[in-house]
Structure 1
Amino acid sequence: MQKSYDSLKDNDIEVILLAYLLKHPELLDTHFEQISFNLFANPENLKIFKVLEDFHQSQKNISIDTIKNYIPDIQSQTLKDLSLQIDQIVFSKEIFLNYIESLQELYLRRELFKLTQDKNNESTTFQTSNNIKEIFLDLEKKIFDLSNFKKENYEFKDFATVTKSSLQLVEKAFKKKGKYSGVVSGFNDLDNMLGGLQNSDLVILAGRPSMGKTALATNIAFNAAKYYSNEEEKGSVVMFSLEMSAEQIGLRILAEQSRIPSDKLRKGELNERDSAALSSTYQEIHQLNFFFDDSPNLTVSELRSKLRRYKKNYNIKLVLIDYLQLIKPEGQRDSRVNELSEITRSLKQLAKEFDLPVVSLSQLSRQVENRDDKRPLLSDLRESGSIEQDADVVMFIYRESYYLQRNEPTRGSDETQESYQKKHDAWKDRNEEVFNKAELIVAKQRNGPTGKIELYFDDKYTKFLGIDKNNNF
């Protein structure tokens, strides 16, 4: 086994690389992101590199004699080999980079070897508190970190490179006939305001219970999946549902699209016309690339591991999570606020890491109910960790009719019938005015305007539509 591990080292290339750096110390500046102590498996070569790096940072010249003075116990053969390579080097940037790549490859192989050996010991000796699921997750995470060792996507970029990438976003929108650079939600007013759901954005959709958060998220996911089914690049949508089962969400979608109330579907109370409509709807939508994961008690690490596989296999373009407060924290924190802060920061990192829009639903605190105007505000998120700070977009869903229907006026003991009737008529008129209407409040957008969007809500089918589409009903 030791022989196998030793084969993952190449002392000759390490010495050649050190010779390059001694003869051309400016390479430490021009290639500092690629050259690190990880490349040197030989302890003596590592010592030389550290001395070389220290001298360069202090802007001092270094020679073989200097190395000998600073590392008195170094073997004479090492210095002899190094001197020989310095004399023989004919500078070639291409060859120099090839040496770096070779040592990086060997480093990754050594780390993979050690990692798999460690996990093999963990799984066979039982000398760990981790269960097999935790061992798998840790192994997957560490292998993923190794595979991203070079971190090419997060390199230092000059202004020309950045503006070129930005221009590509504009070109992407132009190719879509000047519409949106992001993933379409299917709600025109929202897409106009956001330019679509943008890659690497964390979007929070928040509201009190029964406002329709899950219904709206499902509508957005379905619309996006339908859009990608007609695109050349077949993309997919995944919804992590920590509250409802995948079958419950599927039932909702069938009710929305077939226009059969979900309670009739649940009870199986279908007539011949309903059965035909349901069959037709199923045939129309069952092949959409819309995926569900209803695993409960997921941590962000588990979610990341799953998403890594899903994106590779299914070309995921949009992620939805229902809902944030049900995500399991990675460890114990001193308060629930700090737990939620860690979760939202991790979700933002997830969106950036996978370069996808991540839409996460979030509950709002009861303090909304204590105000006369129950429209949510950004301040309502203050007790939910750092949601407001971490999110790129914060949206609230609000339906006034929900509150009105539960607050029918009652007649006071000293109130006249005429006064009560007037109050009741005003309540009834307002109910009719806002019935089936909802507000989507874009309270924060890091890179664009905020505002209010009116939506039509059909509670019979738990379906939202743009306000201009309600004539379909």
Structure 2
Amino acid sequence: MLETKIIDTLLKNIELIPFVELDEKWFLIPENKLLAKAFLVNGIQSLKDVEQVIKDYDPFTSIDFDYLEDRGFDGEYIAPLQKLEAMLKELKIAHLKDDLIKLSKRYSDNPTVVNFEKMRAVSEELEEEQAPPNDGSLNESLDELRSRFEKEVPMGLKSYGKLDMALGGGLKGGQLITIGARPGVGKSAFGVNLAAKILERNPKARVDFFVLEMSQRSMVERFITLKTGVQTLKIQHAKKMIGSNKEKEKVMASYDYYENSKLRIYDDLFDCDDIIRTIRRNSRENDEYIAFIDYLGLMQVSDKRKQAYEKVSEITRKLKMLTNDSDIPVVVFSQLNRAIESRQNKRPNLSDLRDSGSVEQDSNIVGFLYATEPRDDEEEFTILDIQKNREGNIGAVKYRFDKALMNFEEVFT
């Protein structure tokens, strides 16, 4: 129980008592309440002092020096004061919540001004305790900026050259990157290309790919096709369709390459919380990390009763918190609203994101894949149109997309 852990820890760390906020009212267990009351007496410096104060309060108490020493032995040694303060804050908030429930019931039964004022006072104190501790100070940010004169700032994971330039140096921690596309444009294939580029240019990077509409094997076949230039159909029927030794050697070498790589593909996780737990665990174990999710609309939340826009809002909010807390980039693919199909101009915009409000709000970067509509004498290109970018440029990156070989080639024009 938290209150017992706090008392035991204070008995082990007597010297911290003067530096923490403490109130006997927060404790429910009689022994803990009595000990908390004793801690509040000025001049407490040892277990002997605590024992004496306890006996002054209650001459017949069974609490003695041996009892205090045993409990102190069970306590946690805490070097940083912040950890103990966090435990006490949690206990105080629990006490205030209980108080507020009781006072709310009292006011409901007897709606007097006095009861209302008591309820409001506790409510305001609870709100203050639960408020984020940030005081708006610039010190931490300025210290970090000063340090850039002495050490190089990581530029992010490298991928395509022009894309990295648009993103301000690569895919960085803290970024939620959303890429939207109509069906058939190649968003999954682009994800494969982007992941493969990151593996190639960042050998230490761990790349996790969460696929929600196809199997792991199908995704691996796409990676193999991209790596070897051998069409997926041939890879699926290798014995019958791969005749030359050269093709066979290329395919077998690519199997070894991906087996030894840090690419991981998950096809059995659909719940948002399960995906986030997996990302948190894996990112802690790897200094360089990125996750891909294909795609947003298939992710699930625990409350099945929620409307589609509520589900998307919950998912994007949690993903944004994940990128910030774990300091990693996450790329999530999204379908577009069907309204775009009825428009003459098929170039997507931010409002075309399905249930777009929270997606646009929570994403650091939003890009759209779309195919150009060339005249007879023109070549078709696929465009990644970056329309929102909090940390870099907006604009278009042009690719030549070979659907048969799953290959997105950057076009420098």
Contact 1:17 1:99 in 2 (8 A): no
- Cα 1:467–1:170 change in 2 (3 A) is farther
TM-score, normalization: structure 2? 0.70
1:331-346 aligned within 5 A: 331-346=303-318
**Does 1:239 pair with 2:240?**
no
Q: 1:445: which partner in 2?
A: 389
What's the CA shift for 1:10? Answer: 2.6
- 1:381 counterpart (353, 356, 361): 353
- CA distance 1:16–1:211, change in 2 (3 Å): same
Counterpart residue number, 2:237: 267
- Kindly state the Cα deviation for residue 155 of structure 1 after the two structures are TM-superposed: 6.6
Matching of residue 10 in structure 1 with residue 8 in structure 2: yes
Q: Residue 77 of structure 1: CA displacement? A: 3.3
Q: How much has 1:201 moved relative to structure 2?
A: 0.9
TM-score normalised by structure 1 residue count: 0.62
RMSD (Å), alpha carbons: 4.1
Aligned to 1:301, what secondary structure does the other structure show?
helix
1:222 and 2:220 matched: no
Is the counterpart of residue 202 in structure 1 residue 159 in structure 2? no
Structure-2 separation of matches of 1:335 and 1:211: 27
Classify 1:14/1:106 alpha carbon distance in 2 versus 1 (closer, same or farther; 3 Å): farther
Which residue of the partner structure matches residue 411 of structure 1? none
Q: 2 CA distance for matches of 1:254 and 1:162?
A: 44
Secondary structure at the counterpart of residue 42 of structure 1: helix
Distance in 1 of aligned mates of 2:267 and 2:286:
17
Does 1:187 pair with 2:160?
A: yes
C-alpha spacing 1:79/1:13, structure 2 compared with 1 (3 Å): farther
The number of equivalent residue pairs is: 339
- After TM superposition, give the deviation of residue 303 of structure 1 in Å: 1.3
Deviation at 1:309, TM superposition (A): 2.6
Give unmatched runs, 5+ long, in structure 2. 44-52, 60-76, 92-132
| Cα deviations by residue, 1:85-143 (Å, 9 ceiling, x for unpaired) | xxxxxxxxxxx9849478579989x9xxxxxxxxxxxxxxxxxxxxxxxxxxxxxxxxx
Residue 449 of structure 1, CA deviation? 1.9
Task: Find the counterpart in structure 1 of residue 33 from structure 2.
Answer: 43
CA change 1:6–1:378 in 2 (3 A) is closer
Match of 2:324 in 1: 352
* Change beyond 3 A, Cα 1:48–1:240: farther
In 2: Cα distance, 1:326 partner to 1:462 partner: 23
Distance, in Å, in 2 between the alignment partners of 1:388 and 1:102 is: 36
* Residues 317 and 356, structure 1, Cα contact 8 Å, conserved in 2: yes
Structure 2 residue identity aligned to 1:464:
F
Given that 1:341 and 1:384 are in contact with CA atoms closer than 8 Å, whether structure 2 keeps it comes out as no
How far did residue 378 of structure 1 move? 0.5
Structure 2: how far apart are the matches of 1:12 and 1:204?
48
In the TM superposition, residue 20 of structure 1 has moved relative to its aligned partner by 1.7
Cα separation, partners in 2 of 1:13 and 1:156, compared to 1, 3 Å: farther
* Shift in Å, 1:384: 3.6
What is the distance in 2 between the residues matched to 1:313 and 1:165? 24
Match of 1:165 among 124, 140, 144: 144
CA distance in 1, matches of 2:237, 2:9: 73
Q: CA deviation at 1:308?
A: 2.8
Distance in 2 separating the partners of 1:103 and 1:160: 24
9 and 206 in structure 1: CA distance in 2 versus 1, 3 angstrom threshold = same
**What corresponds to 1:279 in structure 2?**
252
| 8 Å CA contact 1:333, 1:339 repeated in 2 | no
Q: Which amino acid aligns with 2:209?
A: M
The answer to whether structure 1 residue 370 and structure 2 residue 325 are counterparts is no
- Determine the C-alpha separation between the residues in 1 that align with 2:4 and 2:173: 43
Shift of 1:198: 1.6
Query: Is the 1:225–1:290 Cα contact (8 Å) retained in structure 2?
Result: yes
Matched position secondary structure for 1:360: strand
Identity of aligned residues (%): 27
Corresponding residue for 1:20?
Answer: 18
Q: Which amino acid aligns with 1:253?
A: F
Contact 2:212–2:268 (8 Å) recurs in 1 = yes
Measured in 1, the distance between the counterparts of 2:406 and 2:193 equals: 9
Deviation at 1:166, TM superposition (A): 4.1
8 Å CA contact 2:35, 2:54 repeated in 1: no
- Partner of residue 186, structure 2: 212
1:255 and 2:255 correspond? no
* Aligned-partner Cα distance in 1 for 2:237–2:84: 65
Matched ranges for 1:422-433 at <5 A: 427-429=375-377, 433=378
Cα deviation, 1:55-105, whole Å, max 9, x if unaligned, reads: xxxxxxx989xxxxxxxxx9773599xxxxxxxxxxxxxxx9849478579
Q: Secondary structure at the match of 1:205?
A: strand
What is the SS of the residue equivalent to 2:278?
A: helix
Q: Look up the equivalent residue of 1:434 and give its one-letter code.
A: E
Task: Tell me, in whole angstroms, the C-alpha distance in 1 between the residues paired with 2:80 and 2:150.
Answer: 38
Give 3-state SS (helix, strand or coil) of 1:428's partner: coil
In structure 2, the partner of 1:468 is: 412
Gaps of 5+ in 1: 22-26, 53-61, 65-73, 81-95, 111-153, 405-426
Distance 2:330 2:388 in 1: 16
Change (3 A) 1:194 1:103: closer
Partner SS, residue 210 of structure 2: strand
The residue matched to 1:321 in structure 2 has which SS?
Answer: strand
Q: Distance in 1 between matches of 2:14 and 2:343?
A: 72
Quickly say closer, same or farther: Cα 1:275–1:366, change in 2 above 3 A: same
> Contact 1:238–1:316 at 8 Å: present in 2 too?
no
Distance 1:465 1:12, change over 3 A: closer
Report SS of the residue matched to 1:10. Answer: helix
| Deviation of the 1:258 alpha carbon | 0.8
